[in-house]
A and B are shown apart, each in its own frame.
Chain A
Amino acid sequence: MRRTASMLLSHAGASAGRRGIPQALADVLVCPLSKKPLRYCEATGSLVSDAVGVSFPIEDGIPSLVPKDGKLLEDDSEKSEQEPITRDSSR
């Protein structure tokens, strides 16, 4: 099941260009403040923590998950349901 998920993710990545973050990161990354799951926001290319309403940037392919660098979400459009990060446990 897990291999299927990662195959689908990499296939999607190959056809649609760089999408989301690698599965190995998605499997373990959480919000550094709330320790709850993060959501990838394709529009801004950032990781969003809905639990605390903060977004964290990804710079040069490196997620920047330092608490003080998080940006408070003001914009409603960033909060909409987009690209939830798939996890093994949710399947």
Chain B
Amino acid sequence: MALRASRRLASCSSHRRLLLPSQAQASCNPTVAAASAFLHSHATSFGYKQVREEEKSRLVGNVFSSVASSYDLMNDLMSVGLHRLWKDRLVSKLNPFPGMKHLDVAGGTGDVAFRVLERVKSVGHRAMQGTLTDTEEDTHIYVCDINPNMLNVGKKRATERGYNDEHCLSWIQGDAEALSFEDESMDGYTIAFGIRNVTHIEKALSEAYRVLKRGGRFLCLELSHVDVPVFKQIYDVYSFSVVPTMGELVAGDRQSYQYLVESIRRFPNQEKFAQMIQEAGFERVEYENLVGGVVAIHSGLKL
């Protein structure tokens, strides 16, 4: 155990961090109490506002119903197009293969799903010189989102891209905290910019663990915490001044974007979130910071 830990430490790059097994196992009472207090605080926060737990999902629902039609445009504006690269990186880390069953949660408008599909097709074609094999036909991406407006936008985009959606894409309205998929049915699970909006993060994580097959990969792309000194100040000004104003001008909704930037600050930091993923049962949990921690990709394996 100690040897493995030291080998992992040696292989750490400046951007990757691995959670050492010993850290999580040393969960004494004060840590457990702090963790549950934290989770309760996440469940009852809507950005910086305090809300009742039951209210949170309704409020989040309103945010996404409001922003659905301008969601993609706002993402491009707010991240200066970078969100596309971040999602590319996420899918690259996923390493999709032909025949895989993949679940993308909170993926309403289809960004990640389409990328996974494209990736599988290109892998398949390189291998088989363009003929559709049986395994490639078996590839299936399930897009789950709690908000029907977001799913409808995704479905429409799929049609525009010429995907025969029943063939390899399915759209399901569901709750990340109570997924409607069978145990051990998925090879991969992704959640991009979604887990921040879930009321009970630990439930979403344990559901992710449940639906993944053994050997399945969990990947989460989420806005995270910036610690880099000067950059942090610039990022804060950008978040609290520029983004809500953009939201007002482009999406006609200042409040939703105010919620967005506040919810980022309330979300656990990289280390804390990695610990939560490990507590859900995942192993080889690690994370990669992008743009100094503006976003982080956390990953884990169900062994």
Q: Which residues of A contact B (CB under 8 A)?
A: 22, 24-25, 27-33, 35, 59-69
Residues 124-158 of chain B: 1 if any A CB is under 8 Å from the residue's CB, otherwise 0? 00000000000000001010001010011001000
Q: Choose from B101, B166, B178, B183 the contact partner of A32 (Cβ within 8 Å).
A: B178
A–B complex contacts, Cβ < 8 Å, 25 sampled: A22-B170, A24-B140, A25-B142, A28-B101, A28-B142, A28-B181, A29-B182, A30-B180, A32-B175, A32-B180, A35-B183, A59-B173, A62-B148, A62-B151, A63-B172, A63-B180, A65-B172, A65-B173, A65-B180, A66-B146, A66-B173, A67-B175, A67-B178, A68-B175, A69-B173
**Chain B residue, CB-CB nearest to A2:** B138
Chain B residues with CB below 8 A from A61, complex form: 155, 171
Chain B residues with CB below 8 A from A65, complex form: 172-174, 180
Bin the interface of chain B by size: 20 to 34
Chain A residues with CB below 8 A from B166, complex form: 22, 24
* B151, B170, B178, B180, most chain A CB atoms within 10 A: B180
**Chain B residue, CB-CB nearest to A59:** B148
Per the bound structure, the CA–CA distance linking A29 and B140 in Å amounts to 13
Given contacts A35-B183, A66-B146, 11 further A-B contacts (CB under 8 A): A22-B166, A24-B166, A32-B174, A32-B175, A59-B148, A62-B171, A63-B180, A65-B173, A65-B180, A67-B178, A69-B173
Nearest CB of chain B from residue A55's CB, rounded to whole Å? 13
Q: Please name the 7 residue pairs, one residue from A and one from B, whose CB atoms are nearest each other, closest first.
A: A65-B180, A32-B180, A64-B173, A32-B178, A28-B185, A65-B174, A22-B166
Per the bound structure, the CA–CA distance linking A25 and B146 in Å amounts to 17
Q: Please state if B148 and A64 are interface contacts (CB–CB under 8 Å).
A: yes
Chain B residues with CB below 8 A from A64, complex form: 148, 173
Q: Please state if B173 and A63 are interface contacts (CB–CB under 8 Å).
A: yes
**Chain A residue, CB-CB nearest to B186:** A28
Is B179 engaged at the interface, CB distance under 8 Å to the other chain? Answer: yes
Nearest CB of chain A from residue B113's CB, rounded to whole Å? 14
Per the bound structure, the CA–CA distance linking A62 and B142 in Å amounts to 11
Chain A residues with CB below 8 A from B142, complex form: 25, 28
**Chain A residue, CB-CB nearest to B134:** A3
Per the bound structure, the CA–CA distance linking A77 and B24 in Å amounts to 52
Per the bound structure, the CA–CA distance linking A29 and B101 in Å amounts to 13
Q: Choose from B173, B181, B183, B185 the contact partner of A62 (Cβ within 8 Å).
A: B173
Q: Please state if A28 and B178 are interface contacts (CB–CB under 8 Å).
A: no
Q: Please state if A66 and B174 are interface contacts (CB–CB under 8 Å).
A: yes
Q: Choose from A22, A24, A33 the contact partner of B178 (Cβ within 8 Å).
A: A33
**Chain B residue, CB-CB nearest to A49:** B180
Chain A residues with CB below 8 A from B181, complex form: 28-30
Nearest CB of chain B from residue A90's CB, rounded to whole Å? 13
Q: Please state if B182 and A35 are interface contacts (CB–CB under 8 Å).
A: yes
Chain A residues with CB below 8 A from B101, complex form: 28
Nearest CB of chain A from residue B159's CB, rounded to whole Å? 11
Q: Given the interface contacts A24-B140, A66-B146, A66-B174, does A32 sit within 8 Å of B182 by beta carbon?
A: no
Nearest CB of chain A from residue B265's CB, rounded to whole Å? 28
Chain B residues with CB below 8 A from A66, complex form: 146, 173-175
Q: Please state if A25 and B175 are interface contacts (CB–CB under 8 Å).
A: no
Task: Please report which residues of chain B, range 184-198, place their CB below 8 angstroms from some CB of chain A when the two chains form the complex.
Answer: 185-186
Q: Please state if A62 and B180 are interface contacts (CB–CB under 8 Å).
A: no
Per the bound structure, the CA–CA distance linking A28 and B148 in Å amounts to 20
Nearest CB of chain B from residue A32's CB, rounded to whole Å? 4
Q: Given the interface contacts A32-B178, A32-B179, does A25 sit within 8 Å of B152 by beta carbon?
A: no
Per the bound structure, the CA–CA distance linking A61 and B179 in Å amounts to 18
